[in-house]
Amino acid sequence: MHLMLKKSIHNRETVAGYLFIAPVYLAFILFMLYPLVKAIIMSFTMVGTDYVGWVGFQNYVTVFKDYAWWPSVKNTIIYSAVVVPGAIFIPFILAALIRVMKPAAQTFSKSCLYLPQVSSGLVMSLVWFWIYDPFNGLLNYLIGKVGIQPQIWLGDVKTALLSLILMAVLAGHGSNTILYIAAMGGIPKTLYEVARLEGANWWQTVRNITWPLLRPTVLYVLIMSIIGSFQVFTPAYVMTRGGPGLATSTVVYKIFNDLFTYFSFGTATAEALILALVIITISLIQFRFFATDVEY
Amino acid sequence: MKKWLSCLFVVILFVGLLAGCGKKEKQSLGSKKDVITFWIAENFEGEGKLWESIVEKYNQDNPDVEVELSIKPWDKTPMNVALQSKRPPDVAFDWFSPPTDAYEDLKVDLLEYITPEEKDDFGPQVIARMLSPKGKMNKWPWYLYRAEWMLANGDLLKQVGANPELIQEQGWNWDEFLSTCQKLAKVGVYGYGDAQSPNTVNILLNGLVGPSISDKDPYEFNWIGAETAGILQRYRNLIFKEKVMPKEVLGIDIFGLHEKFSRKEFGIIRSYTAWVPNLEKEGNISKVYILPYQDQGGLEFIPYLGVGGWAVFKQNPSPGEEHLKNVVKFVKYISQPIDGEFIPMHWGGLPPGGNLRQKYIQGIKNVDPNLKFTLKVMETGKIARALPTAATKINEIVNTYISEAMSGQITAQRAVEKWTAEVSRLLK
Amino acid sequence: MQNKLSNIFKKVPAYILVGIWIVIALTPLLWMVSSSFKGEASLMATPPKLLPDPFSLENYQKLFEKPVLLWVFNSVFVATIVTIEVVAVSSLAGYAFAKLRFPGRNLLFWLLIMTMMIPGQVTLAPLYELIMRLGFLDSFKALIFPPIAAVWGTFLLKQFIQTLPTELIDSGRVDGASELQIFSRIILPVAKPGLAVLGIFTFVAHWNDFMWPLVVLKDQSRYTIQLGLSAFRFQYTTAYGPMMAGATLAALPMVIIFLLLQRYFMEGLTVGAIKG
């Protein structure tokens, strides 16, 4: 009897599983997979705007020889190396801090932190562009007050990329903070009770209970941050157009340029696929490293 | 509560789908007319309204066609996507046009529709500018222009004893320019400002040395050697040696520059003729003068003129000869002054056809010094052939190293060496 | 007595640190709102002034010369529908990937996730062609149907639902509930924080989307607010004032939505249900 119940549940699960993922998956096949496959084919069959038939890896080779490719890769890596840890740890600390506040203060803080994300990347880039103005921008004004020399920020090859990074790190991180707070809410209070009874302080509690139990959320934030920072585009486009020189050219900026300025569809899609492969590889490694089914 | 929510959900979804369908039906009415899709972007505030009335009038006067006007933002993405799916608009402002050698099959060859009189009036130079490398005339000329010049605060110039009208008439050289800037510095303003240095250096190189690549095949790259390095060096020295241009200018954009010019913090800037009225108003300046670029290093600066116009496309599969005839008729109509108004005048553009231009000029009442200067440039300037896609890539390479040189990272010499190497690799 | 003091010691730094961060994070936003009320003259003053002086509504007046309310309505319409459908399909799929067992589950999930790593610009042209063939061009259908492929939403909810204890589901099965009932009666209520979060993020993302509507919409009357705002950029100028006013206006509905939904973030719902 028991065995049969198990089996029918198993079948039921399978059927339900497929049914439940069907809406997303069908739309996915139509609107994402199909264009994607087409794009992959483009990287192997197009040169410029023409379908010339199979050209093998010619486009990929062209990409690696392109003078603008490796600087774009370097910039993207540097950018991500700073922004991703920032996007993981800053909101985590903020979330932990906010949770000790009174509920009203919590609501207020969450709202304040999320607010910057409510305006589009385009507008934020414009606002920060003003902040970085070398003559009378807010930033030079502030650092002038503590005696630092005014910098050129976006106009100097030495500080341009740093300016973009700073903008990303000083963002509100509202969405990730809220995510962490919501997930922390799912941790049973009893665990905290036990920890308090055993005399653990705040840091120990966080390190041994909160952090491990939040792994799936952290993993999510990690992967989304990597995807986001590896694909950074809007600030590079709005604020500096990849410049000065190639100082802020990122991989996606280069792809965009190749598509809409040079009409080099073959190399653009090749670049996009290279990028995707890199992100996938890194994410797989993260998943291996991090993902364990969290059980109580 | 839940039932209510799910009902609401279904209702909204339903309404949504209906709305999505409903709005489309409107267009199938009145489909007897030949629809011409027309894309513009606004070069100045209010241009869109002008076009709306022009199109409305045209539709009234030509009941068998319906021109559909789209005022687009300054973004090439919709055009590129439209081209890629072989459904471009019929007529678009040429800024939206892809490089000359892309999408040949979607471009209309206007040589098939041009009359001998029109060809004559435009002249071979203007026509050559509108041709693709394969000899197809992709665009219809609308205006002749050279919009990027140095703009100077007339009051400040006179204050330091410079004569802008004389400079406009006779031109000037680099040393004269430098001394004017230094005089301006003595009265407490920055002599010169430029928020788009790579662009400006391109213009200088173009005017002093010639276009980046020559017409020959294989392409020859011209921006090499000591002359080129000298030009870049002199420009770079404005920041580092003569110090008449503040380094901070590298980190602002053209609007910031205009703002400071209006506040009389800069005597001369590099900007666009379309801005003169605005700057005069904002800065309370009695006259903003358009000044020519300087001769330098023994080279004379020859201004290169651009020809702006309309890109005309045909979809694939082709819409048919009748339709194309209607489209061309519309294009020819909008390329002339309409009711005495010539829209490109707002940014200093003049009709490209010789006779038409003369007629239009005679109709202008007030010829101020800037207009006099512009007319002189139109007569003495050169119109270069349209450059192929490779030129865009070359520009990007050159500009990369110009930026590094202007930032102080590398010397002008080194910059030229580096870009020569890159470009020859590209052209191989 | 001791406890109270040490409590305060714990809490004060939290308030201070978070307070500082809030100021940093909000400065650009405040700058944007403040600038929207600055007249032409004071917009780019030297040195920068934080508060508008004089206070002016001229930017908003300029803004409303265009059909902004219509655009806002369009944005609300599209964003609402998309949010509802995304939350619906993502929760189903997210739950299935998180807690149900079926052959090929991991493979299918990974296929889904991997596509997130492809930059959108690349699939833009083929997707546009597809939309054109389906006849969705220049209608809201082009904005409403593609997001059903809610890859990101599925990912988010899968991770979130994964943290929920499996006992909930087992107890449901023992009670003889159908899979759908388990989903709707047990999982959904408990996953509310995650759903609310996804709802807000989706709404905001589609509200702010500029590229896709730019490509598929032609008729100005169907523009979303972001697309409409771009109308304030000319070739050589950007009317910063009205643009900031527009950006402030565009941000407003989302602030409202956020405040409405954020009460679903209350913690402890799960705990109440099982441990009792």
Tell me what the pLDDT averaged over chain B comes to: 86
Closest-CA residue in chain B for A265?
Answer: B84
**How crowded is residue B5: how many other Cβ atoms within 10 Å of its Cβ?**
10
Q: Check CB contact of C206 with chain B, cutoff 8 Å.
A: no
| pLDDT reported for residue C98 | 87
Same domain flag for A139 and A116: yes
Q: What are A109-158's pLDDT values in tens digits?
A: 887 887 787 777 777 887 888 788 888 778 888 888 888 888 888 888 88
Indicate whether B200 pLDDT > 70. Answer: yes
From the candidates B13, B103, B252, which should be mutated to test the interface with A, based on the most A CB atoms within 10 A? Answer: B252
Could you tell me which chain A residue has the CA closest to the CA of C163?
A294
Q: How far is C235 from chain B (nearest CA, A)?
A: 5
Interface mutation target, options C95, C122, C214, chain A, most CBs of A under 10 Å? C122
Instruction: Sort out which chain B residues have CB atoms less than 8 A from C231's CB and list them.
Output: 71, 73
> Taking CA B7 as the corner, what is the angle to CA B3 and CA B9, rounded to the nearest 5 degrees?
115
Res B99: pLDDT: 76
Chain A and chain B share a number of CB contacts under 8 A equal to 80
pLDDT in tens, A150-185: 888 888 888 899 999 999 998 878 878 888 887 887
Which residue among C139, C211, C237 places its CB closest to the CB of B77?
A: C211
State which residues form the domain around A202.
62-290
Q: Are C234 and B44 a contacting pair at CB < 8 A? A: yes
Show the tokens assigned to B381: 């300037």
User: Would A296 be classed as within a structural domain?
Assistant: no
> Would you list the domain boundaries of chain C?
2-56, 61-274
Strand partners, C99: none
Contacts of B78 in chain C (CB under 8 A): 214-215
Asked if C41 has any chain A CB less than 8 Å from its own CB, the reply is no
Check residue C272 and give its pLDDT.
Answer: 26
Residue B355 and residue B121 in contact, taking contact as beta carbons nearer than 8 Å: yes
**Is A66 within 8 Å of chain B by CB?**
no
Nearest to B45 among C80, C227, C234 (CB): C234
CATH architecture of B32-144+305-383: 3-Layer(aba) Sandwich (3.40)
Residues with Cβ within 8 Å of residue B83, at least 6 apart in sequence:
B98, B102, B103, B106, B313
Contact indicator for A216, C163 with CB cutoff of 8 Å? yes
Q: Is A97 found in the same domain as A134?
A: yes
CB-neighbour burial class of residue B64 (10 A; exposed 0-12, middle 13-18, buried 19+): exposed
What is the ipTM score, two decimals?
0.78
Residue A76 scores a pLDDT above 60: yes
**Mean pLDDT of the region A195-209:** 78
User: Cβ separation of B21 and C141 shorter than 8 Å?
Assistant: yes
Do A226 and A167 belong to one domain?
Answer: yes
What is the rounded CA–CA span in Å between residue A37 and residue A43? 10
Q: Which of A7-16, A77-86, C199-208 has the highest mean predicted lDDT (pLDDT)?
A: A77-86
Q: How confident is the model at residue B28 (pLDDT cuts 50, 70, 90)?
A: very low
Question: Looking at residues A9-16, what average pLDDT do you find?
Answer: 78
Q: Which pLDDT does position B245 carry in this prediction? A: 94
> Which residue in A67, A132, A153 is closest to B397 by CB distance?
A67
- Cα separation, B160 vs C94, in Å, equals 73
User: Tens digits of per-residue pLDDT, B275-326?
Assistant: 888 889 888 899 999 999 999 988 999 998 989 999 999 887 888 888 999 9
pLDDT for B425 beyond 90: no
Decide if B259 and C230 are in contact by the 8 Å CB cutoff. Answer: no
The pLDDT score that the predictor gives to residue A277 is: 87
Q: Is residue A269 part of a domain?
A: yes
Out of C125, C211, C237, whose CB is closest to B255? C237
Question: Do A134 and B397 lie within an 8 Å CB cutoff?
Answer: no
DSSP-derived 3-state class of residue A54: coil
Torsion A89-C156-C185-C105 (CA) sign: negative
Tokens of B65: 């066609």
Reported as a pLDDT band with limits 50, 70 and 90, residue C269 is very low
Query: In angstroms, what CA-CA distances link A115 with A103, A178, C244, C257, C275?
Result: 18, 12, 15, 11, 35
CATH architecture of C61-274: Orthogonal Bundle (1.10)
Q: Which DSSP string do the residues of B164-213 spell out, in sequence order? A: HHHHHHH--BHHHHHHHHHHHHHTTSEEEE-S-HHHHHHHHHHHHT--SB
Q: Is the pLDDT assigned to residue A51 strictly greater than 60?
A: yes
Confidence of residue A47 (pLDDT cuts 50, 70, 90): confident
Does residue B332 register a pLDDT over 90? yes
A27 with A80, same domain? Answer: no
Give me the pLDDT at residue B326, please.
92
B22 to chain C: nearest residue by CA? C139
Q: Kindly list the partner chains of chain C, i.e. chains with 3 or more CB atom pairs below 8 Å.
A: A, B
User: What residues in A contact C165, CB-CB < 8 Å?
Assistant: 296
| Stretch A30-41: mean pLDDT | 89
**Cβ contact A14–C119 (<8 Å):** no
Cis bond leading into B218, ω under 30°?
yes
Q: Residue B309: helix, strand or coil by DSSP?
A: strand
pLDDT at C223 over 50: yes
Residue B98 has pLDDT above 70, yes or no: yes
Mean pLDDT of chain C: 78
Per CB-CB distance under 8 Å, the chain B contacts of C227 are 73
Residue of B nearest to C217 (CA): B78
C142 in reach of chain A (CB within 8 A): no
**Mean pLDDT, range B204-213, rounded to an integer:** 91
DSSP E strand stretches across B304-349:
304-312
What is residue C254's predicted lDDT score, i.e. its pLDDT?
A: 74
Domains of chain A: total: 2
Check residues B46 and B377 and name the one with the higher pLDDT.
B377
Nearest to B403 among A129, A152, A243 (CB): A243
The fold of B148-304+387-427 is D-Maltodextrin-Binding Protein; domain 2 (3.40.190)
Q: How far is B395 from chain C (nearest CA, A)?
A: 20
Enumerate the residues of chain B whose CB falls inside 8 A of the CB of residue C129. Answer: 84-85
**DSSP secondary structure of B73-95:** -S-SHHHHHHHHTT---SEEEGG
* Position B338 pLDDT exceeds 60: yes
Q: Are A176 and A77 contained in the same domain?
A: yes
Average pLDDT estimate for C149-166: 86
Q: B424: buried, middle or exposed (CB in 10 Å: 19+, 13-18, 0-12)? A: exposed
C114: nearest CA partner in chain A: A280
Of B349, B306, B303, the C-alpha closest to B206 is B303
Q: Do C226 and A34 touch (CB under 8 A)?
A: no
Looking at residues B113-132, what average pLDDT do you find?
Answer: 89
Q: Where are the domains of chain B?
A: 32-144+305-383, 148-304+387-427
Identify the pLDDT of residue B86: 81
Rounded CA separation B393/B381 (Å): 25
Both A20 and A69 in one domain: the answer is no
Pick the range with the lowest mean pLDDT from A210-214, A242-246, B161-165, C258-262: C258-262
φ and ψ at residue B58, rounded to 5 degrees = -60, -40
Task: Please tell me the distance in Å from C101's CA to the nearest CA on chain A.
Answer: 6
Put simply, the answer to whether C129 touches B74 (Cβ < 8 Å) is no
Of A3 and C93, the one with more pLDDT:
C93
Statement: residue B130 has pLDDT above 50:
yes
